[in-house]
Chain A
């Protein structure tokens, strides 16, 4: 069954897109700001993952020009030598490290580009100014990646080979099974964090009314930082999983995947976490189904059309709520 297979691939793709879309939607929920730099955090995280993974498995051919072989053998060999020969453990460790690094980057972006603007500006500039800095950070990171890692496509080490038998579907590659499994676990975890923990409550309070949340003793700066960290680490997870499956890293990958993820967030209803997951899945499935047709190159065109259609028909997205201004 071709279509069934495509749908399944679409779901794995969609799960990955949803992980990135969550970062957009969470930041939007808290700050009412589209974090353009998020897609570049995703891209940087893919590079972080590549560097860590290469070091951990002791094969630095993929990162030539970034890490010199000597440095690799001297610093990391002793610490992580134990992981050599255990590609799965190495991949897991690299993912966690990439998530941590991406969190730091996300917090850094917030501190540099958004925090200084908060509560400032006047009149019409209030809305546009953060968009400009967001865009500026995005361009900055993308070109930084180009300077640091060059524009060429770098292959990811293939640590996950082999297939898994899934009843009803036949064999699927183990990387896809991993993407799917990890995404499901993460999404459930996120749902729990948002609904059950203090941090989730603070986040939602901040989203509803920042001033009131501050008055109630929520340390808004910290919550915002944590939101960025959480969103960025999810993007990092998505990035590493994506690269393990698709095996290429390049500086403009953030734009391609980032746009899809953003559309997913809008489709599901920006600000809504469940919406981002749903939107991601839909975009993933649509993308894979399009690949079955003659217009396989038109995925992004279609994604864009979906966005316009959603904006026309249901601007708040599938699960979003419209917010009208108080008069």
Chain B
């Protein structure tokens, strides 16, 4: 049966974030949901997981109507997810983060915990075993008692996936798992995603900007733009789809120069540029300077001009960042005027979006993903041992001596 969306729409204020999207994710499929910033991808995730309720349309998973369920019940129905901006429980230890996800499966309830009945111990033991096993699989077991906030960024992302897997889901929604990862880490992620599917038999839906990952791992792609479906097919079909190219690269004349600048920026040395260990997504400013140093003066000026222009547009339309349109502040009287602007001009090309452009992996990904063979550089990277930060899950991670660095 899988996950079925039928004509799902969702508006925030006057803005149509998702307009009549339909798709089906079969069992054990790796499914990519892509599109430029603001296309409504994360909103689709939020609709599936019950964070928002759709205005119309149907969402079902394995024959169960998800629209009627609360988020926790949807999690219980076998739909697990991760978040774009990592949402771990910072005050709980790493292992506790996983244990929380067991609450639903527990047979013993509060009363037996208070009375300390055998069922309580049985449960605790079973939960711990599972958690330990998963931590081992995700190569996090040595940090079990540490605070998740002290982990490097990549580990945090994997911890979030481990937590989601603790639910024993049938489908896993990953929201930009490669954000902030460097080239090598992204390669590792691809292996991990495939491995997850093969080992646990879960279907995986991927929202991702990193084309290296999307094109390399997805079996089916669904492309959204401005909340509407513009294409659906295999990666090869999507790569050539004219509408997709238009949506991603934009049609206005600025695009080529921007592309040139960005491509220039993504020189081969990039994979070595480690994203700052803490939340690279938030720390764009921290990762930007080292890259800028690699540009020549005129290029730098060019790039900064483009960025300024797109920033200005971004400010005129503050909700243009990805899923920012989900910001319900849009309903506040004060913000309404601003929202109206969003609907007018299409957002600037995704690649110069202030949020995406300065993040190294995305740039290199676009470089490798569109046009050239995506797999070739990957093999190179492996051969050269560039990806010492890959922290591979399972098959890859276990024999990598460098995986602990920074941990």
Contacts and interface: CB of A to CB of B under 8 A. Distances in A.
- A touches B in complex, CB < 8 A: yes
Interface of A: 123-124, 204-205, 207-209, 212, 321-324, 326-327
A321 B332 contact: yes
Interface stretch (B121-129, B132-140, B321-329, B360-368): B321-329
Given A123-B91, A124-B91, A327-B46, A204 B326 contact: no
B329 A323 contact: yes
A204 B328 CA distance: 15
Contact of B328 (A123, A209, A212, A322): A322
A323 B333 contact: no
Contact of A207 (B51, B328, B332): B332
B318 interface: yes
B66 to A, nearest CB: 16
Contacts of B290: none
B113 interface: no
Contacts of B327: 326
A276 B87 CA distance: 35
A327 B83 contact: yes
A321 B331 contact: yes
Contacts of B326: 326-327
A208 B329 contact: yes
B335 A324 contact: no
Nearest to A200: B334
Contacts of B83: 327
B328 A205 contact: no
A256 B42 CA distance: 46
Contact of B335 (A124, A208, A322): A208
Contacts of B90: 123
Interface string B61-102: 000000000000000000000011000001100000000000
Given A208-B329, A326-B327, 6 more contacts: A207-B332, A208-B335, A323-B332, A324-B52, A326-B323, A327-B84
A208 B334 contact: yes
A205 B334 contact: yes
Interface string B331-344: 11111000000000
Contacts of B334: 204-205, 207-208
A323 B334 CA distance: 13
A324 B335 CA distance: 15
Contact of B42 (A123, A205, A327): A327
B328 A323 contact: yes
A208 B52 CA distance: 21
User: Nearest 10 pairs between A and B by C-beta?
Assistant: A204-B334, A321-B331, A208-B334, A324-B328, A208-B335, A123-B91, A326-B327, A327-B51, A327-B46, A323-B328
From B326, B328, B331, B332, name the one whose CB has the most chain A CB atoms within 10 angstroms: B332
Interface in B306-360: 318, 323-324, 326-329, 331-335
Contacts of B42: 327
Given A324-B52, A326-B327, A212 B333 contact: no
Given A324-B52, A327-B46, A208 B91 contact: no
From B84, B324, B327, B334, name the one whose CB has the most chain A CB atoms within 10 angstroms: B334
B397 to A, nearest CB: 29
A212 B328 CA distance: 16
A327 B333 CA distance: 21
Contacts of B51: 324, 327
Nearest to B52: A324
A327 B334 CA distance: 21
A208 B84 CA distance: 22
12 contacts: A123-B90, A123-B91, A207-B332, A208-B332, A209-B329, A323-B329, A323-B332, A324-B51, A324-B52, A326-B323, A326-B328, A327-B51
A209 B335 CA distance: 9
B91 A212 contact: no
A204 B333 contact: yes
Contacts of B52: 324
From A205, A208, A326, A327, name the one whose CB has the most chain B CB atoms within 10 angstroms: A327
From B84, B323, B328, B333, name the one whose CB has the most chain A CB atoms within 10 angstroms: B333
Interface string B369-393: 0000000000000000000000000
Nearest to B12: A324
Nearest to A203: B334
A205 B327 CA distance: 15
Interface string B267-297: 0000000000000000000000000000000
A291 B307 CA distance: 65
Contacts of A207: 332, 334
A207 B334 CA distance: 8
A4 B323 CA distance: 52
A212 B315 CA distance: 10
A145 B395 CA distance: 71
A123 B328 CA distance: 23
Nearest to A323: B328
Nearest to A205: B334
Contacts of B332: 207-208, 321, 323
Nearest to B324: A326
A327 B52 CA distance: 10
Nearest to A125: B91
From A208, A209, A212, name the one whose CB has the most chain B CB atoms within 10 angstroms: A208
Contacts of A205: 334
Contacts of B328: 321-324, 326
B315 to A, nearest CB: 9
B323 to A, nearest CB: 8
Nearest to A274: B333
Contacts of A208: 329, 332, 334-335
